[in-house]
Structure 1
């Protein structure tokens, strides 16, 4: 059967649609410009590349053109924001890495100052305590 076929069979016991493989058809959601958020039945093996290409709409087409346009615009806005979020995650990870490096450099510098200056300050501190 070709992709886009609307033939279906229902199992006798459960009332669920079965694909041509005899498996319970899965319910998916289309996000194409022509059918935004429209649900359909498909072979559960289709996404793995070995399905029977069973297809039928879950419901009758509903909605007006402005509703479809609004859904498409919302989908596109969500995708845009998802891309921005991913970019921000990368930036945050880079900044955290830079911060950790700076903190390690600061600790190293503090250790060098402490060890290099300790002998010269030690006698002064000793004199202050004994007076």
Structure 2
């Protein structure tokens, strides 16, 4: 009895594994479980394309191992290819990130240069305002001197007459 319950437990485990992992063939159809009928593998179970032997069916084929697990060497290759694709994508993103970081550095340097130029222009503007104020004072002073000199000339002209 114990051996019967053990095998039924193993069988239910295999069935749940099959139910959870439906194999999809290259035609995007659910693969069907078949049994080899002749040759050295007669009686051995395998998954294949449901459209076989119709012309144009894909060549999907995977053996079901004795423990009920599918032998998937091609799946390993598919995963390796996916990993390679992801590694390539990561490398491209890292390269793009590095290029963006360099661009940010160049823009920061450019910003600093513009800020320095802006500060220099502010300083120059302040200096020019100061000179303009000095010129304005000088102009007022010269205008006062001119008016005063004309008044003096007029007074002297009246006195000498």
Q: Which has the higher strand share?
A: 1
What is the TM-score normalised by the length of structure 2? 0.35
Q: Which has the higher helix share?
A: 2
Higher RCO, Cα 8 Å, sep 6+: 1
What is the TM-score normalised by the length of structure 1? 0.43
